[in-house]
Amino acid sequence: MPKLTTDWMKVAQSGPTVDGRNIDPAWLLQAAETYSVDTYTAMLWPDHFRFQNYGKVLELRADTRPDSVVELFARIEPNAAYLWNNQFGQRLYFSMEIDPNFAATGKAYLVGLGVTDSPASLGTDELKFSHRRNKPESRFLPGAEFHGLTDDEEERVDGLIARVLQRFTIHPKTPASEEPMKNEQYAAQFEALEQRVAAFEAQVADLKASFAATVVTSAQSTEQAKEQAKEEPAQGAPDSADAFAKLCDTVLKLSQKLDAIDSRLAAAKPGETFNSTAPAGTAPLL
């Protein structure tokens, strides 16, 4: 896969910084002279933090303007992580990491290039380095805005970003469309429902017959008890007439409820309508 590279972009210039310090022109000239990816590759770091690089610096070039200001230019190779952030207007500017005495050579060297949201400036000399570098003379120098892609390269960037998005995007599966039911399926369902209703009606009929027999038996037993009570007066025994009356009343109410159930089952047979929104206690039993 071909790598994306930028055109020459200005990353710093010599002279006073916004905080009153100075960028030595010799640093930029020496950095352009000594830089080589074979010697030490300067990586692109988000805000100078060493946890995920955004690409690397391929080449450096220094130009001297008529006013003696030295400008440092770089060609970089950004990766997908950098392109992802940059498309949202993030990490627009560069910030040099210069070591004035690289590897005891006595010459300055670009050891890294930060990408940041700080505004473009002449350059800020910062004495502290990242946690992995403890040389106090190392410099962080903000520079210029990232804007060096050609039209062809922008199209390649768009394609690369689209591939990255596709890799990390979850595509929901299209649910299978439900086929409409056939007449045979409807007929089978209604037949099964009718069989269940018929079986339930038979159970209710058996239950009603059983209760009717119980009522007759209870009535006969009560008559016998009354006759026996007439012949043998009770001596301190509880009055069984009230108990019998309560029992008959309970059996009568239960029989009425069963009749109501039977009526609702008849109304629920297939082909007939029924009220499915009846109040609790009166809704059809299915």
Which residues are part of the catalytic machinery?
19, 48, 95
CA 241 to chain centre: 73
Q: CA-CA distance, 36 to 109, in Å (whole number)?
A: 10
| Per-residue buried b or exposed e for 93-111, using 16+ beta carbons within 10 Å of the residue's own CB | bbbbbbbbebeeeebbbbb
Residues in CB range of 207: below 8 A, 6 or more apart: 258
Rounded-to-integer distance, Cα 115 and Cα 46, Å: 5
